[in-house]
Structure 1
Amino acid sequence: MFNKQHPLFLWFVWLYCALAGLAWGHLPGIWATAPAMLLPILIPQLPRASRRFIAALIYFLVGSFSIVHGSAEFFGAGAGDGGGLADGMGLAAGMGWSFWIVSSILLALPWLIARNQALGVLAVLIDALPPLGLIGWLSPLAGTGVLFPGIGVYGVALLLAVWSLWSVQRWGKWIAGGSLAVALVANAIAVFSPTPAIDCWVGLQTHTGELVTPLQGVESAMQAGQMALAHPKAAAVVFPETIAGHWLPGTQATLYSKYQQRQNKAQIWLIGAVTFGKTHRWDSVVKYAPGGGKTDRRQHGRIVARTAFPVPVSMWAPWAKDRYGATWYTPVRKIGGQRVFTSICYDQLLPWVWLEAVWQHPDVIVATSNVWWAVKTDIPAIEDENTAAWARLMGAGAVIARNG
């Protein structure tokens, strides 16, 4: 299909990889995920392993450059729990550059073997699934929702088939043509079908910044609770990730008091907080819902979701004494009559977590994040783009709550 030996083709692929990386955070909505879908077709056309590696490396370096500034802000600020992992902005910036370069190299390595279409798909899957998938953002799989909205796991299977058989002369054209027909039909249905019934679900957008002390968590919870009271018609109000800080008695009492003031007595609150176990702390979402009576708080503050995988190093650090736990699997929960999948911050970047959601076919995606440290980067936009694309694949509505 292509003249692989022509020098211009090499430069074309490298330039395309750079533009596909740049699309993340810069193209509107789900379209930011679309250019990457061509990488498993283009990169295997390069005959040399070194050139394929450079192509993939360009893509990941350009797409993930926000890690540099975001890490400098996060670690330079002390990582949010007092005590920081790096002393001084110089060392924090050095960590950011290291994370950016090392993660890009690791994600580019599987493309060394991508000498044909099937091995190109294998490279995508190696990047997408643990262990490498623990840092495997910017996955070409995210674009599945652009082509195949509403058909879930079948859309993923069709995209993998197109990638694998693209260069097969006998079946390739039939597979590509048939998949294109399915994509056109699915997109037509998505355009003319009504949006999933989540009109009465509200996601709060807050700007409280970093929470260091328990008192700041109480104050933040009070402010967010007041914001929630401004939505009396909402069936459910979603709070941003860790907006309540540590889930301590003072914070719980504050939110319970606010919850009792709501006009809509059937309203549900889903609150981001840091909860504690025997050996770990957890990045969690807790639920305040009707029932239990005014004197029985045990029915309130129930944990309905924990992050599948917290941010590595800064949160998920098995070698650290005070560490966050990973659940590795996020189940769909029935909340307010809806099948809800909760995606907490970093989970929104990881394709293997989204594949867990696709398998469970939820009605609603609740996406919470606390990105005060990344507001000057593309990271919040990339989270939104992933959420929108994967939600579209599942035919689910998305409710986004962010502290930035």
Structure 2
Amino acid sequence: MRPDWLQPFTLALAAATTGYISWSGHALALPAAIAFPALWSLAHSRRAASVVSAAYFLAASRGLPQGVAAFYQSDIWPGLILWLVASSGFVFVHVALWSRQSGGWKALRYTIAMVLMALPPFGIVGWAHPITAAGVLFPGWGWAGLAAVTAGLALMTTQYRPAVAITLAGFWLWSAAFWTAPDIGRHWQGVDLQLGNRLGRDNSLARHSDLVATLRSERRPGSTFMLLPESALGFWTPSVERVWRQQLAEADLSVIAGAAVVDREGYDNVLVRVSATDSEILYRERMPVPGSMWQPWLAPIGKSGGARADFFANPVVSVGGQRVAPLICYEQLIIWPVLQSMLHDPDLVVAVGNDWWTKGTAIIGIQRASAEAWARLFNKPLVMSFNT
């Protein structure tokens, strides 16, 4: 190997290892991502910075090709193409902001990169953001913990990186020694399903009756609100609403579940609350999955379809007098939805997903780990429900 490629190759290998470990689907592994800004800053050229950034992102999102192939029931090539396209935003931002200068200037540039990857438009594909580790490093610290990790990540690009790395590693070890999962919301219960790709596609009365029967059998004493995964109710129509209200008759229970509300222009991916007496659309997803759900290129060419992205709408919703921060599937992988919700100081976080297509990958584990980390950072109860 030529000497001028030895350093970029070594940094890229380290970045890929960092991405693989930190995004393995275990919350306590997330702080491994704090090594990325140091590796990025050590690159000697923009080309090397691009290789380091791509290696980290591609390793972190390695489950995407297989997941896309399963979702579309196709070969691996569409997933590989989407994988590479998705990485382009992350690589572009970090290459554009890389600088030969060191010290405070490089720290400032990395801070800008962090902000850009947390907010739209680049934040739409802002997966594997190292700042997610804040909840593991500083559980319960809230915004102060987020600020501390932001400062620590920025300082990892300077000559102070050894001291910063040792300090953050100390917090990591302390957190790992005393780590506890987030509390479950009082009177709340999440129900996981294993219905594969059948969930939400069968709108028959028998299917809805089976779901209600599952809720009745799984219900714990004291549970007033039960959470079902994304897409659990299929298409939300007056007929489906009527069926569920009838099925819940004489049950002191409210069900919060995923559904789709369709109109001529497209559809909303939503959370619905239904009980024996009433129902409502609680939440419209702020950021559906780009490509498979959110397809903004359809409207300019005069076509309809695809899920709407409400970006900054409904960050918290009210359920039984509690302020709830909902996160549907893809929103657990990016940054701004959860931070926007936390600005409103919710009482608890609910996270749902329909992840049958992620079998054999770390994606569902990463979603769970991310949701746990954010809930622990802000010391909020967390209720989760996933379909596999």
Aligned-pair CA distance for 1:367: 0.5
Query: Equivalents in 2 of 1:36, 1:271: separation in Å?
Result: 33
RMSD: 3.2
List gaps (5 residues or longer) in structure 1: 77-88
Q: CA contact under 8 A between 1:60 and 1:107: conserved in structure 2?
A: yes
Query: Equivalents in 2 of 1:313, 1:400: separation in Å?
Result: 25
Q: Name the SS of the counterpart of 2:234 in structure 1.
A: coil
Aligned-pair CA distance for 1:285: 0.6
Aligned-pair CA distance for 1:98: 0.5
CA 1:178–1:41: 2 relative to 1, 3 Å? closer
1:135 aligns with 2:132: no
CA 1:243–1:100: 2 relative to 1, 3 Å? same
Match of 2:15 in 1: 17
Query: Equivalents in 2 of 1:47, 1:218: separation in Å?
Result: 63
CA 1:217–1:24: 2 relative to 1, 3 Å? farther
Amino acid at match of 1:164: A
| Alignment counterpart, residue 222 of structure 1, candidates 209, 227, 241 | 209
Q: Name the SS of the counterpart of 2:343 in structure 1.
A: helix
Match of 2:238 in 1: 249
1:35-71 Cα shifts (integer Å, max 9, x gaps)? 1122123311222111111011001111212111111
Q: CA contact under 8 A between 1:236 and 1:270: conserved in structure 2?
A: yes
| Alignment counterpart, residue 322 of structure 2, candidates 335, 338, 343 | 338
Instruction: Give aligned pairs, total.
Output: 371
Moved more, 155-164 or 217-226: 217-226
Query: Equivalents in 2 of 1:271, 1:213: separation in Å?
Result: 11
Match of 1:381 in 2: 365
Query: Equivalents in 2 of 1:107, 1:142: separation in Å?
Result: 16
| Alignment counterpart, residue 257 of structure 2, candidates 271, 282, 299 | 271
1:200 aligns with 2:187: yes
Match of 1:58 in 2: 55
Moved more, 239-248 or 314-323: 314-323
Q: CA contact under 8 A between 2:22 and 2:32: conserved in structure 1?
A: no
Query: Equivalents in 1 of 2:386, 2:169: separation in Å?
Result: 37
1:71 aligns with 2:49: no
1:280 aligns with 2:280: no
Q: Name the SS of the counterpart of 2:12 in structure 1.
A: helix
List gaps (5 residues or longer) in structure 2: 100-105
Match of 2:103 in 1: none
CA 1:223–1:108: 2 relative to 1, 3 Å? same
Match of 1:83 in 2: none
CA 1:337–1:181: 2 relative to 1, 3 Å? farther
1:370-404 Cα shifts (integer Å, max 9, x gaps)? 11112222211111111111111111121111111
Aligned-pair CA distance for 1:147: 1.4
1:303 aligns with 2:281: yes
Q: CA contact under 8 A between 1:217 and 1:245: conserved in structure 2?
A: no
Q: Name the SS of the counterpart of 1:162 in structure 2.
A: helix
CA 1:387–1:119: 2 relative to 1, 3 Å? same
Match of 2:102 in 1: none
- Output the TM-score relative to the length of structure 2: 0.85
Aligned-pair CA distance for 1:166: 4.7
Q: CA contact under 8 A between 1:204 and 1:402: conserved in structure 2?
A: yes
1:37 aligns with 2:41: no
CA 1:343–1:52: 2 relative to 1, 3 Å? same
CA 1:49–1:284: 2 relative to 1, 3 Å? same
1:90-128 Cα shifts (integer Å, max 9, x gaps)? 4xx322111011112331122212232221222222222
CA 1:187–1:253: 2 relative to 1, 3 Å? same
CA 1:182–1:260: 2 relative to 1, 3 Å? farther
| Alignment counterpart, residue 149 of structure 2, candidates 155, 159, 167 | 159
Identity %: 26
Query: Equivalents in 2 of 1:195, 1:110: separation in Å?
Result: 33
